[in-house]
Amino acid sequence: MNNLVKLFFASFYFASSLVSSAELPNIGSSSSRILSINDEQLVGDDYMRQLRAMAPIVNDAEINDYIQHLGFKLVEKNPDAQDRQFSFFIIRDKSINAFALPGGYIGFHTGLIAKSETESELASVVAHEIAHVTQRHLARRLELQNQLSLPSLAAFAAAILIATQSKNSETGMGALMGAQGLAQQAMINHTRSNEAEADRIGIATLYSAGFNPEGAISFFEKMQENSRYYSNAFEFLRTHPLSRSRITDARLRAREYPRRTHQDRPLYSLMKEKVKAITAKITPITVDKMRKQFKDGEFKTAAEQYGYAIFLIRAKQFDVAHKILKNLRFSDPNQASYAIALAQLDIERKTPTNSIKLILRLLGQSPGNQALVETLAELYIANNEHAKARELLLENIHMTEYAPYLLKLLSEAQEGSGYKSEVFETEGNFLLAMGDLTGARIQFEQALNVHTEDPYARARLNSQIAKIKEFARQRSLRH
């Protein structure tokens, strides 16, 4: 992630997580009277639209589908979450962090997923962030904009980022000292109190969802131990302060529940290895190193071999990747991840017909599987069957709510199948989801000038243009 993107991301993240609590209302109805859940949702929607445009969000359907299912499994077991919207996403960043935005948007860095050792550890972080949303910690921080403005928070966030990453330590510390007036001790105190509450609710949710509550403790202990040696690697500790008393309290809460073991699902291990593979640097040195590890038998599990195959596809080492994936499918023909990886390999090799029947069969067995839908659409497009891709994506258009990048795939399918009148609207919806209000409006206005047989198109387009005007008005009020 380049520095500009990091600064932008930090401004939004710190705006939602590092705000003073000196004059916050108590938890409960008083907060609701000042900032409604609907208003909080509108703010969060706008933050997320802009975040999609600037941050390196992982657009892998399998990984996203996994984190969505894990998130909603935990949401179902949090009784305060039933009236809230949630959406889970992943940021491509090697640091270990997780965060919640207003409106129930919860993000995880790839570094956190890669560092987790069990699914219970990962689930403990998800449950913790859900608790921040349900307890309205974010809404109450937003209310403080009267005392501490969003631009000021962005400046403070940027100063911290410069101080921790600048090669010139004097420049970094100078920037931090310049913004120090914004960093009141109440920020830390408020965060600690919120963390204790999120720990309590998160551990209860973790247990109710069938996970091992000890996963929260092992994650805390891992963070504390490693932070002694890698002080800049664990952003989670900066934004989620961890003390001995917090670990002790969490351990006592976890022990209130009967002892339980949780068997990690194979999909957790596969997606963890896939995250590692898609974020690894592709260089002659890394390719040689991993080749030696594979030759020496260091990739013992199926998940590790799968991750290596994904890495090889990215490194254009197609023959070895194909052999590994074929062996994995032979050992477990029902594991869709292996078939999806083989399909991606066929797309790279320009032999998409080799995988179309297999993915079609798997989709018939698991209708609505986002990863299979996207893979099949990509296979159709690669095979110049754009009409089939368009029909498939339109049948599953609801998926774009959580995966707006599918709209780009739909636009390509519409263009390739001759439905050019639809392309402007689809591109407009994509740009709107990405926070580009001006670009989206231009696309919708162009769509109004194109002839279409759709009798509802004009009303739909005018509705989207009206939404953009309102979004722009609300955004100007917040800034």
Query: Residue 79: exposed, middle, or buried by beta-carbon count in 10 A (0-12, 13-18, 19+)?
Result: exposed
Those residues of the chain that have pLDDT short of 50 are 1-33, 146-190, 229-235, 237
Chain position carrying tokens 């949303």? 133
pLDDT at residue number 214: 86
pLDDT at residue number 479: 56
Q: Which residues of 80-100 are buried (b: 16+ CB within 10 A; e: fewer)?
A: ebeebebbbbbbbbebbbbbb
Distance separating alpha carbons of residues 330 and 61, to the nearest angstrom: 24
Element housing 421 (H / E) = helix 420-433
Distance separating alpha carbons of residues 252 and 11, to the nearest angstrom: 35
Distance separating alpha carbons of residues 422 and 345, to the nearest angstrom: 30
Q: What is the phi/psi pair of residue 118, to 5°?
A: -140, 160
And the tokens for 154?
A: 């962005």
pLDDT at residue number 97: 82
And the tokens for 216?
A: 């929260």
Q: Which of 60, 129, 378, 436 is catalytic?
A: 129
Distance separating alpha carbons of residues 416 and 426, to the nearest angstrom: 14
Residue 385 is a catalytic residue: no
Distance separating alpha carbons of residues 108 and 452, to the nearest angstrom: 42
Residue 76 is a catalytic residue: no
Q: What is the phi/psi pair of residue 108, to 5°?
A: -135, 135
- Strands 105-109 and 98-101, by their bridges, are antiparallel
CA dihedral for 128, 133, 136, 141, sign (positive or negative): positive
DSSP state of 408: H
Distance separating alpha carbons of residues 195 and 174, to the nearest angstrom: 30
Residue 235: strand pairing partners:
none
pTM for the complete prediction? 0.80
The domain limits of the chain are 3-254, 269-478
**CA distances in angstroms from 355 to 164, 399, 401, listed in the order given:** 47, 22, 27
Instruction: Answer yes or no: are the C-beta atoms of 19 and 153 closer than 8 Å.
Output: yes
Residue 414 identity (one-letter amino acid): Q
SS3 content of the chain, % helix, strand, coil (to 5): 70, 5, 25
Helix axes 302-314, 336-349, angle to 10 degrees: 20
Return the CATH architecture of domain 269-478: Alpha Horseshoe (1.25)
Q: Which of 45, 65, 121, 199 is catalytic?
A: 199
Residue 101: strand pairing partners:
105
- DSSP string for residues in 228-243: TT-TTS-HHHHHS---
Distance separating alpha carbons of residues 176 and 186, to the nearest angstrom: 18
pLDDT at residue number 454: 79
- Strands 105-109 and 87-91, by their bridges, are parallel
3-state secondary structure at position 11: helix
Strand order through the sheet with 105-109: 87-91, 105-109, 98-101
Distance separating alpha carbons of residues 91 and 107, to the nearest angstrom: 7
Residue 158 identity (one-letter amino acid): A
Instruction: Answer yes or no: are the C-beta atoms of 178 and 4 closer than 8 Å.
Output: no
pLDDT at residue number 427: 95
Instruction: Answer yes or no: are the C-beta atoms of 355 and 379 closer than 8 Å.
Output: yes
DSSP state of 136: T
